[in-house]
Amino acid sequence: MADKLAGQPVPKDRIINLPLLISDYFSLQPDPAVSTERVAFGTSGHRGSAFKKSFNEAHVLAVTQAVCEYRKEKGYDGPLFMGMDSHALSTPAQMTAVRVCAANGVKVRIAEKNEYTPTPLVSFAILGHNRTSSDKADGIVITPSHNPPEDGGFKYNPPNGGPADTDVTAVVEKRANEILENGLKDVRALSYEEALASPYVEMYDFITPYVESLREIVDMDAIARSGLKIAADPLGGSALGVYKKIKEMYDLNMEIVNPWIDPTFSFMTLDHDGKIRMDCSSPWAMASLVRLKEDYDLAFGNDTDADRHGIVTPVGGLMNPNHYLSVAIWYLFKHRTSWPEDLKIGKTLVSSSMIDRVAADIGKEVYEVPVGFKWFVDGLYEGWLGFGGEESAGASFLRFDGGVWSTDKDGIILNLLAAEIKAVTGRDPAEIYADFEEKFGKSYYARIDAPATPEQKAKLKALSPDDIEADELAGEKIVGIYTNAPGNGAPIGGLKLVTENGWVAMRPSGTEDIYKIYAESFLSPEHLAEIQKSAQRIVTELIG
């Protein structure tokens, strides 16, 4: 059930105490003997809050030192591109990381004047350097993504430009915790002033090369010619400077709403649970932009590091991310005529099967992988995936010529693509998706959570198809049982059951005592509910 204030302006009593947060970042010392205070890399790096001693200066010192040691071991001697978003902890964390990089002799490139740098621009910069230079660049992005204002985050991107895989993060995490346990004795760090004065810190313009190159991936001229009245909402995040440059360079009829940085994010509307969260796929967090939907031909938003997208149309409001992914895929594979014919479509196993139906209709193969954008990195980098997208509103795709653009999620190009779709076809993505429902059936999709003990979560993660004795799900024959993704064979860390008209996937949470149930029906809301209930019965029998 949603909080009673969900979608409403932030009350004064829910605005965080920024001076205390920054003080806690520097003054509180995490105890590595406490599991919640250790470095822990999830699907999007290490995240935490200074208030909870899970994201403090000690963590950033340790992780950055571990990254410096890792890249030295691997022989990466090119520049390290470092970006940050507009969360309050990001600026002090970048200052900390710069001190360590400089002391370790790492050439680090940061934006001038403490400018904010979105995740996709860091990926773009890494790939651009490595395309023309023999020394290998990599990157760090300091961001907790769309998480609440009190959170901080740290991501590492290796030379392929994408989010680091577990073979990398496991090494960095292990070493960082060793450094914490050893009282930070192994950390090399200059003062911030010494670091900036050293030959190892360079100021870099992330925005201009990226914006200048947008013509190579989105039809910016078509958008400009159309005169579409567009609203861009950075949600107080790092995309603000990028949209200003886009508007200036391409002369778009685009208004930037919420055109300011406020690390309390007090201009937001509360998310479903009453928290401040810059989630551009949430109708509650996006409520203020949705209220303006009829004032524009198209509106869109990004989370704070701009790796996610949110599309708002005049009639439909905020599009479900699965719906927009389906439309983007259809449009790209129809209109990118220079793309190789054998390009595949990347989707996560909890994304809508509407994507599969669209792909079959246009004669393209689907590459289905576990949750996490890291599974698309190689395909985008090597040029055999035309598109890779997640159900959580993160995606990227190739340039017009089939070359790689970014190997991390890029919410900016996905937003601009929606404007291209409207400019070229005369119809917005929601109108096109309505055609899909007429042709392929209506999708009913939901995610719910169910309680689970650590032991039950471990059992769910260890299931194999042979453990499933049931042959029906919600009255339909089960035609597929997966504990490994069909695209790349990687373990999904859970279970997926598929029938002719629906599916369900269950995965244990990495941070909470719950498991997540993703389900979809192409019959009815009632059938969807029955799928969820049937799946829970099957899993309960297996894990207790």
Place of tokens 């192994």: 186
Q: How many Cα neighbours within 13 Å face the side chain of 374?
A: 19
Out of 90, 145, 226, 392, pick the active-site residue: 145
Place of tokens 């049931």: 470
In angstroms, the CA 238 to CA 412 distance is 11
* Residue among 205, 203, 199 nearest 106 (CA): 199
- Residues 46, 63 contacting (CB under 8 angstroms): yes
In angstroms, the CA 391 to CA 105 distance is 40
Burial 221-238 (b: 16+ CB within 10 A, else e): eebbebebebbbbbbbbb
The two tokens of residue 302 are: 């990004």
* Residue among 157, 21, 39 nearest 89 (CA): 21
Question: How many Å separate Cα 343 from the centre of its chain?
Answer: 23
Q: Which helix (H) or strand (E) holds 85?
A: none
Question: How many Å separate Cα 507 from the centre of its chain?
Answer: 18
In angstroms, the CA 152 to CA 145 distance is 9
- Residues 219, 420 contacting (CB under 8 angstroms): yes
In angstroms, the CA 106 to CA 139 distance is 11
- Residues 157, 163 contacting (CB under 8 angstroms): yes
Sign of CA dihedral 147, 263, 138, 170: negative
- Residues 418, 311 contacting (CB under 8 angstroms): yes
Cα–Cα distances in angstroms (integers) from residue 533 to residues 478, 512, 538, 539, 544, in the given order: 15, 21, 9, 10, 15
- Residues 78, 138 contacting (CB under 8 angstroms): yes
Q: How many Cα neighbours within 13 Å face the side chain of 17?
A: 8
Number of helices (H), then strands (E), belonging to the chain: the values are 17, 23
DSSP 428: -
In angstroms, the CA 359 to CA 379 distance is 17
Is there a catalytic annotation at residue 281?
no
Largest separation between any pair of C-alpha atoms in the chain: 69
DSSP lists the bridge partners of residue 514 as 451
- E runs forming strands in 333-452: 344-348, 366-369, 385-390, 394-397, 444-451
The set of catalytic residues is: 145
